[in-house]
Structure 1
Amino acid sequence: MTTAIDSLLQILDLETLEHNLFRGRSPQVGWQRVFGGQVIGQALVAASRTVVEDRQVHSLHGYFMRPGDPSVPIIYEVDRIRDGGSFTTRRVVAVQHGQAIFSMSASFKVPEEGFDHQIGMPEVPMPEDLPSEKEMAARMPDTVPENIRKYWERERPIELRPVDLTHYFSSKALPPKQYVWVRASSALPDDPRIHQCVLAYASDMTLLDTSMFPHGKSVFLPEIQAASLDHAMWFHRPFRADEWLLYAEDSPSAYGALGMNRGLLYNRDGVLVASTAQEGLIRRKKPRE
């Protein structure tokens, strides 16, 4: 039986078409558009396959330009911008129907010793003390909106355990921050690049939601049009994406239908392994006349 994580690994295993040219596919699960994290993860796979093994990604910066069409493959073209003594730079463009839907720059670096500090992890309950999504759906079948309950019940490659559930079933205005434990739903191969690409995939989950908290809204509401516009990620230290990571998120600003969001990812020992930043569209849909 194919698990959700097997399907994700298949999606991230791009087909090589030609030198610097790769093809990726989307899961056929009825999505109207391609999940942004999928495009980020696949673009990172494409870039990584053109970089020597001893260099690991330390940062990526991407822009979403058009919604992806899940019914057709995505072509990823890699531009080998620079291979330096310490750093390697790649640019990736994702194309569908002859048009760019996403572009990304990624930088890779050789390992070396250096200064080391980090800010501490917030004090929150550990994942074992929190319910799984299926447990949440079972506990609150009549309290949570049906679309959210179905989302919780669906088998997905990334498991989420939010510290606070208030925003799922309340219109109460909340502080613009949230904490979510995340991990791959099954064990992953030991290749560090797979863990980086899976975390890149997962990093687009829940982040944009944070900018809706102060307004008592949710990206699940039909009145809200929400979409990731750009996404940046920095990889600081080694990690495993199949072990629990705390995603500490906040939203310092929302204005002009744009929400700004930041995230820090810690392992359960409090080690900061990655950071994210994203701006997204959060627009009230105009009522139909």
Structure 2
Amino acid sequence: MAAPIAYSLIATDLDGTLLRGDDTLSDRSLAALARVADAGAQHLVVTGRPAPRVRPLLDDLRCTGLAVCGQGAQVYDAGADRLLWSITLDRELAETALGKIEAEVGQVYAAVDQDGVDGLTLIEPGYLMPHPTLPAVRVERRDELWGEPISKVLLRHPHLTDDELAATARSVVGSLATVTMSGPGTVELQPCGITKATGLALAADHLGLRPADTIAFGDMPNDIPMFDWAGHGVAMANAHPELKAVADEVTLSNEDDGIAVVLERLLGGTAQAQYGPLTLSIEP
């Protein structure tokens, strides 16, 4: 019989957390997640990526259950390839919010994730995808971004840092949208009040699990609500300082299999023969 694990729900961000920099999963991470499943726990991806951009990774993880996508705006059933729940960002409010931001910082470059399991990522002229491996469709004019329902807007500024752009956006957007920062070059506007915790709570309730049953892993400020909701929050060594400040512990980086290190420790096993000695996580 597999050893029990202290948490029944393992919630992991993808970029900068479970995935390596080249968008791949290590054998060690896959093995740790397989052991978690054998022990009776569930793995739940909780990501800013929209559902269509997550499907190939869920296939790699052999996931046929739920995933939280779009910064919590979507709960996706991988097995049925459908959204159990989704909420869209009002396009007029999004355009107004974008205008307020540009009034403060000058021109920004925008992209949108369309709603739905087959929604496209549209990018306006000048916008550079932070993840060049992700597919996107370039439009000729900004007004073409608003043609179909959207789950979020992605913003980039030619000179400001992500922290600077996010801070300014929060100061002027108000209740028009929620502003998040989810990775290098990724400041986002999403429906007001919607965070990763929103989708995680809905998915956990669907699975009959509670915050106390949950350990969450992340690397960016958009993971803070997820950490606030979960029973235990683990930041990666490469995480943003704001997330490390609220984490219960800090593990190794995504490149060094930080998630696997923690899961192996929780399972009480050892991966020393195959992967070398385990490294305990470091308290912040």
The normalised TM-score by structure 2 is 0.24
Larger proportion of strand: 1
Higher relative contact order (CA 8 A, sep 6+): 2
Q: TM-score, normalised by structure 1?
A: 0.23
Bigger fraction of residues in helix: 2
